[in-house]
Amino acid sequence: MHPKHPLKQSLSLLALLLVLALPGQSSAGFKLFSDQDQVASLPDFATLAEQAGKAVVNISITKTVQGGQAFRFGPGRGNSPLDEFFDQFFNDPRLPAPFRQQPREQSSLGSGFVITPDGFIVTNNHVVQGADTISVRLQNGDEYDAEVVGTDPETDLALVKIEAESLDVLEFADSDKARVGEWVLAIGNPFGLSNTVTAGIISATGRIIGAGPFDNFIQTDASINPGNSGGPLIDLHGRVVGINTAIIPSGQGLGFAIPSNMAQRVIEQLKLGETVHRGWLGIQMQDIDEDMAQALGLDTPEGVLVADVFAGNPADKAGIRAGDVIVSVNDEPVKDMHALARLIGGMMPGDEAEIGLLRKGERTEVTVTLEERSRNMAQAQPQEREGKVEPASQFGIFLRPLKKGEAERMGLTETRGLLVTNVQPGSAASGQGLSRGDVILEVNQTRVDTVKDFVESAEDSGNRPALLLVRRGTRNFFVTLPVMK
């Protein structure tokens, strides 16, 4: 036999590969898609943007701000080291008016979206805050004057109204069902560029960025920029899954939106012309770290430690005590303070909450009737302490019983506890942030009124750190203290 010609062999192999690679055929998991198949597998962003964009609006506001004297010295605004001096000088009320800093008009832009055909529009509170005038421009170019119906600074939401009819609207999605990796569109007016659409995915949910007590943001990598604030984050069904509200200026692909479910509860109250009502428990709370979890006998550092209970408040009436660990609300797990604040704040005054507690290791349930939470009743947090626990051979702490007058000045209803008179530098107590003037009320959830009580209760910890309930000023908080034997 004559060997096959190399060129014929190559052509035969190529033909075989082409047959195996035809659409609908596969070989070892390989499949070649046609252009039509590839296009069909992607979302129809064009139709989605066209339909949803009709309900997205441009919001422009003007407001009066103080500042801007008649004359500015130096090479640029705020660049001269003399600017601070001149600012003080030109604010002197004894100067003639033309030389003093004068009020000036400031304008800014944001976004929003229509939720009712008769002109209710959702946006961010920071978009309209302090506005003297508000103008809304629709996608078709029509402009309307708008009025603020209501705002909620704690969630950065606002509702405004224009006098119009038969407007295109957007509906809310169920943000609790949003999944990481899902496609979303952000529509708005970044940098004043109207009707801009950007695409991306949901990067994360439940993000806490320090914006307020109810942080629970959806993170997205869809481009969000200044001017997008108040605009919608749209899912592939054309529904609003979030309201774009925050960015990290130094980062790319880091935008944050208020979840639609949180927004709906707020918007419904604002629409009725009401102040936003939130539930109030009436406790001072604290997150649990690894040391505290060990001291409390917990398997994981999850839950919220009750540092103090405000007398006469709902938690007090229900029998919740300092030292309890809240682990659930209405059967929903509570991992930390933010989770508890969101769950309680999402309920209404008068609602009953089933609170799951761990009390000295035993699980129990209490029913709390919530009361009204106002902004000046922000749930107190203990002061942060620096440093980790350092091993020590002694407590390094000097104590004496608290006196009646001292107890009264600290707001205690009875004379109890031990006053810290000195803390040895480098000791375990110092490393845990204890300082002179603190009052130790309990050790391992046992009241202590003498130094003997303190030592005995601490030694009862066994191999675990001792858990101390400390009073500083008018606030309570917990710390752990290693016990070396």
- Average the pLDDT over each of 79-83, 169-173, 333-337, 437-441 and give the range with the smallest value: 79-83
269-282: average pLDDT: 89
Of the pLDDT bands very low, low, confident and very high (cuts 50, 70, 90), residue 10 is low
Which carries the bigger pLDDT value, residue 405 or residue 123? 123
53-71: average pLDDT: 77
Which carries the bigger pLDDT value, residue 324 or residue 213? 324
User: Which class for 83: exposed (0-12), middle (13-18), buried (19 or more C-beta within 10 A)?
Assistant: middle
Q: Which CATH number fits domain 279-377: 2.60.40.10, 1.10.1060.10, 3.40.50.980, 2.30.42.10?
A: 2.30.42.10
Residue with tokens 């629409």: 271
pLDDT for 387: 28
Q: Which of 10-14, 247-251, 293-297 has the highest mean pLDDT?
A: 293-297
3-state secondary structure the chain: CCCCCHHHHHHHHHHHHHHHCCCCCCECCECCCCHHHHHHCCCCHHHHHHHHHCCEEEEEEEEEECCCCCCCCCCCCCCCCCHHHHHHHHCCCCCCHHHCCCCEEEEEEEEEEECCCCCEEEECHHHHCCCCEEEEECCCCCEEECEEEEEECCCCEEEEECCCCCCCCCCECCHHHCCCCCEEEEEECHHHCCCEEEEEEEEEEEECCCCCCCCCEEEECCCCCCCCCCCEEECCCCCEEEEEEEECCCCCCCEEEEEHHHHHHHHHHHHCCCCCCCEECCEEEEECCHHHHHHHCCCCCCCEEEEEECCCCHHHHHCCCCCCEEEEECCEECCCHHHHHHHHHCCCCCCEEEEEEEECCEEEEEEEECEECCHHHCCCCCCCCCCCCCCCCCCCEEEEECCHHHHHHCCCCCCCCEEEEEECCCCHHHHCCCCCCCEEEEECCEECCCHHHHHHHHHCCCCCCEEEEEEECCEEEEEEECCCC
pLDDT digit string (tens) for 147-158? Answer: 999 999 889 999
pLDDT for 378: 40
175-271 fold: Thrombin, subunit H (2.40.10)
pLDDT for 428: 75
173/93 Cα distance (integer angstroms): 54
Which carries the bigger pLDDT value, residue 193 or residue 319? 319
50/158 Cα distance (integer angstroms): 25
Residue with tokens 């590839």: 38
Whether residue 13 has pLDDT greater than 90:
no
In percent, the amount of the chain with pLDDT more than 90 equals: 44
- Average the pLDDT over each of 3-7, 288-292, 340-344, 365-369 and give the range with the smallest value: 3-7
Whether residue 199 has pLDDT greater than 70:
yes
Whether residue 243 has pLDDT greater than 90:
yes
Of the pLDDT bands very low, low, confident and very high (cuts 50, 70, 90), residue 408 is confident
pLDDT for 455: 81
Residue with tokens 């959830």: 445
pLDDT digit string (tens) for 28-53? Answer: 444 444 555 554 567 889 999 999 99
Which carries the bigger pLDDT value, residue 35 or residue 360? 360
Whether residue 217 has pLDDT greater than 90:
yes
* Cβ-contact 353, 329 below 8 angstroms: yes
Asked, colleague to colleague, whether 57-71+84-161 and 397-481 share their fold, the answer is no
pLDDT for 94: 59
Exposure string for 401-425, b = 16+ CB within 10 A, e = fewer: ebeeeebeebebeeebbbbbeebee
Task: Report CA Rg, the chain.
Answer: 31
Whether residue 77 has pLDDT greater than 70:
no
* Cβ-contact 124, 110 below 8 angstroms: yes
Domain boundaries, the chain: 57-71+84-161, 175-271, 279-377, 397-481
* Known binding residues for substrate: 126, 156, 227-229
- pTM for the model stands at 0.65
- Average the pLDDT over each of 6-20, 117-131, 353-367, 374-388 and give the range with the smallest value: 374-388
Report the half-sphere exposure of 170 (CA within 13 A, side-chain side): 34
466-473: average pLDDT: 90
In percent, the amount of the chain with pLDDT more than 70 equals: 77
Of the pLDDT bands very low, low, confident and very high (cuts 50, 70, 90), residue 377 is very low
Which carries the bigger pLDDT value, residue 129 or residue 2? 129
Of the pLDDT bands very low, low, confident and very high (cuts 50, 70, 90), residue 210 is confident
pLDDT digit string (tens) for 168-184? Answer: 999 999 999 999 999 99
User: Among 147, 170, 166, 135, which Cα is nearest to 58's?
Assistant: 135
57-71+84-161 fold: Thrombin, subunit H (2.40.10)
User: Which class for 185: exposed (0-12), middle (13-18), buried (19 or more C-beta within 10 A)?
Assistant: buried
332-338: average pLDDT: 91
Residues with Cβ within 8 Å of 358's Cβ and at least 6 positions away in sequence, in order, are: 296, 298, 303, 324, 325, 327, 364
pLDDT for 412: 84
250-265: average pLDDT: 89
Whether residue 299 has pLDDT greater than 80:
yes
User: Among 265, 248, 61, 255, which Cα is nearest to 157's?
Assistant: 265
- Average the pLDDT over each of 95-99, 259-263, 425-429, 475-479 and give the range with the smallest value: 95-99
pLDDT for 26: 43
* Known binding residues: 126, 156, 227-229
pLDDT for 115: 97
From residue 428, alpha-carbon distances to 134, 139, 230, 287, 395 in Å are 58, 64, 49, 21, 6
pLDDT for 221: 93
User: Among 435, 295, 449, which Cα is nearest to 358's?
Assistant: 295
Class of domain 397-481: mainly beta
Whether residue 107 has pLDDT greater than 60:
yes
- Which residues have a catalytic role annotated? 126, 156, 229
pLDDT for 60: 94
Of the pLDDT bands very low, low, confident and very high (cuts 50, 70, 90), residue 208 is confident
pLDDT for 103: 65
